[in-house]
Amino acid sequence: MKFFVDTADLDEIRDLAATGLVDGVTTNPSLIAKSGRNMLDAIAEICDVVPGPVSAEVTATDVDGMLAEADVLASVAANVAIKVPLTPDGLKTCKALRDRDIMVNVTLCFSAAQAILAAKAGATFISPFVGRLDDLGQRGLDLIEDIVEIYDAYPDFNTEVLVASIRGPAHVVEAARVGAHVSTLPPGVLRQLYQHPLTDKGLSAFLKDWEATGQSIIEQAEQRKDAAE
Q: Report pLDDT digits (tens) over 104-129.
A: 999 999 999 999 999 999 999 999 99
Residues 159, 101, single domain; the answer is: yes
CA–CA gap between residue 163 and residue 118 (Å, rounded): 14
> Which residues partner with 24 through β-bridges?
4
Residues 43, 129, single domain; the answer is: yes
pLDDT digits (tens, 9 = 90+) for 177-213: 999 999 999 999 999 999 999 999 999 999 999 999 9
If pLDDT is split at 50, 70 and 90, which confidence band does 229 have? confident
What does pTM read for this prediction? 0.92
pLDDT at 39: 95
CATH of the domain at 165: 3.20.20.70
Cβ neighbors of 175 (< 8 A, separation 6 or more) are 1, 130, 141, 144, 163, 166, 183
Number of neighbours of residue 27 by Cβ within 10 angstroms: 26
Residues 188, 107, single domain; the answer is: yes
Residues 168, 96, single domain; the answer is: yes
Domain carrying residue 94: 2-192
Closest CA to 28 of 53, 7, 49, 3: 7
pLDDT digits (tens, 9 = 90+) for 50-77: 999 999 999 999 999 999 999 999 999 9
Residues 88, 46, single domain; the answer is: yes
Are the C-beta atoms of 121 and 106 separated by less than 8 Å?
yes
**With the C-alpha atoms ordered 203, 205, 209, 211, is the resulting torsion angle positive or negative?**
positive
Residues 219, 110, single domain; the answer is: no
Residues 35, 142, single domain; the answer is: yes
Residues 23, 66, single domain; the answer is: yes
Q: With helix as H, strand as E and coil as C, how does the chain read?
A: CEEEEECCCHHHHHHHHCCCCCCEEECCHHHHHHHCCCHHHHHHHHHHHCCCCEEEECCCCCHHHHHHHHHHHHCCCCCEEEEEECCHHHHHHHHHHHHCCCCEEEEEECCHHHHHHHHHCCCCEEEEEHHHHHHCCCCHHHHHHHHHHHHHCCCCCCCEEEEECCCCHHHHHHHHHCCCCEEEECHHHHHHCCCCHHHHHHHHHHHHHHHHHCCCHHHHHHHHHHHHC
Residues designated as active site = 83
Cα 74 to chain centroid, rounded = 18
Residues 53, 126, single domain; the answer is: yes
Residues 102, 73, single domain; the answer is: yes
pLDDT at 145: 98
CA–CA gap between residue 222 and residue 4 (Å, rounded): 42
Residues 207, 148, single domain; the answer is: no
If pLDDT is split at 50, 70 and 90, which confidence band does 88 have? very high
Q: State the amino acid at position 218 in one-letter form.
A: I
Region 11-24: mean pLDDT is: 96
Residues 69, 103, single domain; the answer is: yes
Cα 188 to chain centroid, rounded = 13
Domain count, the chain: 2
pLDDT digits (tens, 9 = 90+) for 133-165: 999 999 999 999 999 999 999 999 999 999 999
